């Protein structure tokens, strides 16, 4: 097991290095010059080279990548003297626009994105694992029809559309829940949850619909399998057989869940925009509109890191459950 | 025995599968919905001319400047001259905007889907047929890309694309550049199964050139899979493309596009005033995605392609 962990970890680190390398080649040798953006117009050549030196963009993109990777582990300092800017250990870059390290910017936004993503994931798991097996239990019935039709519609529905429609109906027509803004958990847990009800339901329904569809079909497959027929033949009740089947549906669904949770960072961008919450997605969009290369590269790489860590966790959990994965 | 004698009335697997698709409920409904919306998009100039409006003309007289730019009249200013009402603020004709919007969204998605399917098919076939280190290396890469935060990078890329390249072109290219992975995965599995069959061995042994093996031996056997791939990746592309425009990092805010329209309707939704401006483009977008998904599901059942590996 230890060897398996080491191997997986090493592979993840390598992948991350490879992505960051490609990103640096692409972004820091592209036509968008971050120093020029900061310099503004008109821009004296001396001032431009000063800024370049300060940002470290006067070096080649490969050297810049080395600096970045080094900054991730030991932190780095931009410029020298009185106006030097320190970026502490996991340094994901620096926003010269806001004079803050990207790490601290991400850190300040993370609670919002995590609240939306984790809550949405929990709702989707509950929705999927309740409705999916139930639909399989009453196959061909009214509930099954509703679940199948509903999941078809919801899988086709973009999250932002459902979000806007939810705001329209529950926010403005029925005036039931707040439609925007975020209240920190530490300030008031009740307000926190109340503001997140709509985003959670939107994300939960859309992802839960996919789980329900998957769980239903998987359940039907399992119920038709030989080992359950054998269990049935030993005299086990139908209820008991269904419980066994449900257990084996959980395994692939948790895998899906782990990956989706990591990918949710992408999915929450729409939710954040629709419900005007300033999470990491909003940070990235802001970075694009203000031409802040530091923020954009830092957030994108942070997102990639999150997904790789998520995959790693899924792998390890599966390695614990299923010994075959460890050897593979 | 000559060929003429054995020419019995048989149907190719392809036409059988298409018949099965045509008989299924979801296949019919999907094809019908998709056809209607696509027609509306392609005939956008015609439809707008029929209504007598154009999507770029501002109508200051249709909106109430004293009421935050909301359109006069009920349902967002629906009238005989403006079938779906007017856009709040500018007073542009909503019907014309939506049909032109469908056109933009659909054309970009079609172009991106075609390119990404061609790339994905080529890579997938090469992986499955050539095998060895080529397959192993690319396989790793494809696996990796599959769990990649594509959306984040699609957004980030907007920053380094030169402003001189037209936005629709940029959008098409980036969508295609990230969209081929699912196709490659699916085609790869199918090709690997095919490559183990005798007729491929025969082609290989008789010295058939590589491109000929691909085009005349492998490709005809992948038609079913391809149909499913296209029908399923098209709606996904529509959703992402509209999504990017919705976030303000796709097309310019002035271009008629479903994503742009829905994105701009946020402001109006928040004022709680004009629901029509949100609902009309939304329904159009939903119909495109729903129609293609239904058709894709029917095709998948008919061709019996497993797509669990590629969502």
Count contacts between A and B (CB, < 8 Å).
Answer: 113
Interval B280-301 mean pLDDT: 88
Interval B241-266 mean pLDDT: 85
Q: What is the pTM of this model?
A: 0.84
For residue B212, pLDDT over 60 is answered with yes
Q: Pick the closest to residue B145 from A27, A308, A4, A11 (CA basis).
A: A308
The CA distance from B38 to B291, in Å, is 10
Contact between residue A275 and residue A198 where contact means Cβ atoms under 8 Å apart: yes
Lowest-pLDDT range of B80-89, B171-180, B190-199 = B80-89
Residue A71 lies in a domain: no
Query: Residue B291: pLDDT band by 50, 70, 90 thresholds?
Result: very high
Lowest-pLDDT range of A107-111, B129-133, B143-147 = B143-147
The answer to whether A150 faces chain B, any CB pair under 8 Å, is no
Q: What's residue B112's pLDDT? A: 94
Residue A249 lies in a domain: yes
Query: Residue B234: pLDDT band by 50, 70, 90 thresholds?
Result: very high
Mean pLDDT of chain B: 81
Q: What's residue A169's pLDDT? A: 82
Cβ pair B149:A304 closer than 8 A: yes
Q: What's residue A73's pLDDT? A: 82
Residue A37 CB neighbours (<10 A): 17
Residue of chain B minimizing CA distance to A170: B272
Residue A289 lies in a domain: no
Lowest-pLDDT range of A80-89, A243-252, B35-44, B282-291 = A80-89
In sequence order, what are the beta bridge partners of B63?
B71
Q: What's residue B20's pLDDT? A: 81
Would you list the DSSP string of A212-276? HHHHHHHHHHHHTSHHHHHHHHTT--HHHHHHHHHHHHHHHHHHHHHHHHHHHHHHHHHHHHHTT
Distance from CA of B229 to the nearest CA of A (A): 16
The CA distance from B107 to A128, in Å, is 35
The CA distance from A101 to A80, in Å, is 16
Q: Which residue has the tokens 């008629």?
A: B256
Backbone angles phi, psi at A87, to 5 degrees: -125, 110
Residue A167 lies in a domain: yes
The domain tally of chain A equals 1
Please give the ipTM for the structure prediction: 0.82
For residue B123, pLDDT over 80 is answered with yes
Cβ pair A157:B289 closer than 8 A: yes
Q: What's residue B309's pLDDT? A: 41
Interval B247-271 mean pLDDT: 82
The low-confidence residues of chain A, meaning pLDDT below 50, are none
Residue A52 lies in a domain: no
The CA distance from B274 to B71, in Å, is 8
Q: What's residue B1's pLDDT? A: 47
The answer to whether B243 faces chain A, any CB pair under 8 Å, is yes
The answer to whether B270 faces chain A, any CB pair under 8 Å, is yes
Residue A57 lies in a domain: no
For helices B223-247 and B94-130, the axis angle rounded to 10 degrees is 130
Cβ pair B147:A265 closer than 8 A: no
Of A30, A273, A299, nearest to B152 by CB-CB distance is A299
Q: What's residue A189's pLDDT? A: 82
What burial letters (b/e) apply to B149-176, b meaning 16+ CB within 10 Å?
Answer: bbbbbbbbbbbbbeeeeebbebbbbbbb
Lowest-pLDDT range of A290-299, B73-82, B209-218 = B73-82
Q: How far is CA A206 from CA A257, A328, B241, in A?
A: 13, 33, 18
Residue A225 lies in a domain: yes
Interval B49-74 mean pLDDT: 68
Residue A184 lies in a domain: yes
Q: What's residue B306's pLDDT? A: 65
Query: Which range marks the domain in which residue A228 is found?
Result: 110-277
């Amino acid at each position: 097991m230890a060897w398996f962990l080491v191997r997986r970890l090493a592979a993840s680190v390598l992948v991350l290095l490879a992505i960051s390398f490609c990103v640096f080649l692409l972004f820091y040798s592209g036509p968008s010059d971050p120093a020029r953006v900061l310099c503004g117009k008109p821009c004296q050549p001396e001032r431009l080279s000063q800024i370049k030196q300060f940002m470290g963009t006067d070096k080649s993109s490969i050297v810049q990548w080395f600096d970045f990777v080094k900054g991730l582990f030991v932190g780095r300092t931009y410029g020298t003297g009185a106006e030097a800017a320190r970026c502490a250990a996991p340094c994901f870059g620096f926003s010269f626009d806001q004079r803050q390290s990207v790490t601290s910017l991400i850190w300040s936004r993370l609670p919002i994105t995590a609240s939306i993503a984790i809550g949405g994931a929990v709702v989707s798991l509950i929705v999927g694992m309740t409705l999916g097996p139930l639909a399989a239990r009453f196959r061909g019935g009214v509930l099954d029809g509703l679940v199948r039709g509903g999941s078809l519609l919801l899988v086709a529905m973009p999250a932002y559309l459902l979000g806007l429609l939810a705001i329209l109906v529950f926010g403005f027509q029925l005036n039931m829940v707040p439609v925007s803004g975020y209240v920190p958990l530490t300030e008031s847990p009740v307000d926190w949850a109340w503001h997140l009800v709509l985003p959670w339901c939107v994300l939960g329904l859309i992802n839960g619909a996919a789980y329900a569809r998957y769980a239903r079909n998987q359940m039907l497959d399992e119920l038709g399998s030989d080992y359950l027929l054998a269990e049935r033949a030993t005299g086990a009740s139908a209820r008991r057989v269904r419980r066994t089947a449900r257990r084996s549906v959980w395994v692939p669904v948790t895998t899906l869940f782990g990956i989706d949770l990591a990918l949710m960072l992408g999915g929450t961008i729409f939710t954040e925009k629709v419900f005007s919450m300033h999470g990491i997605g909003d940070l990235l969009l802001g970075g694009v509109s203000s031409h802040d290369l530091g923020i954009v590269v830092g957030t994108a790489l942070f997102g990639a890191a999150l997904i790789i860590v998520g995959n790693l966790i899924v792998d390890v959990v599966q390695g614990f459950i299923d010994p075959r994965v460890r050897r593979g | 025995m000559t060929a003429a004698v054995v020419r019995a009335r048989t149907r190719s697997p392809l036409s059988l599968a298409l018949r099965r698709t045509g008989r299924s409920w979801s296949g019919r409904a999907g094809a019908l919905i998709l056809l209607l919306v696509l027609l509306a998009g392609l005939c956008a100039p015609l439809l707008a001319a029929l209504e007598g409006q154009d999507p770029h003309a501002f109508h200051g007289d249709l909106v109430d400047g004293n009421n935050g730019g909301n359109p006069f009249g009920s349902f967002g200013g629906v009238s005989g001259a403006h079938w779906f009402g007017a856009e709040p603020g500018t007073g542009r004709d909503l019907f014309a905007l939506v049909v032109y919007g469908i056109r933009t969204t659909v054309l970009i998605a079609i172009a991106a889907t075609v390119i990404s399917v061609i790339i994905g098919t080529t890579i997938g076939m090469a992986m499955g047929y050539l095998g060895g280190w080529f397959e192993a290396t690319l396989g790793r890469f494809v696996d990796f890309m599959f769990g990649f935060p594509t959306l984040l990078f699609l957004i980030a890329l907007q920053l380094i694309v030169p402003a001189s390249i037209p936005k629709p072109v940029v959008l098409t290219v980036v969508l295609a550049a990230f969209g081929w992975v699912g196709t490659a995965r699916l085609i790869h599995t199918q090709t690997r199964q095919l490559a183990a069959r005798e007729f491929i061995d025969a082609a290989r042994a008789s010295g058939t050139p590589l491109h000929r093996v691909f085009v005349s031996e492998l490709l005809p056997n992948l038609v079913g899979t391809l149909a499913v791939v296209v029908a399923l990746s098209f709606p996904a592309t529509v959703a992402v493309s509209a999504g990017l425009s919705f976030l303000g990092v796709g097309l310019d805010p002035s271009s008629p596009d479903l994503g742009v329209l829905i994105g701009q309707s946020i402001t109006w939704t928040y004022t709680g005033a004009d629901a029509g401006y949100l609902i009309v483009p939304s329904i159009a977008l939903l119909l495109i995605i729903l129609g293609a998904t239904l058709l894709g599901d029917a095709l998948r059942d008919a061709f019996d392609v497993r797509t669990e590996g590629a969502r």
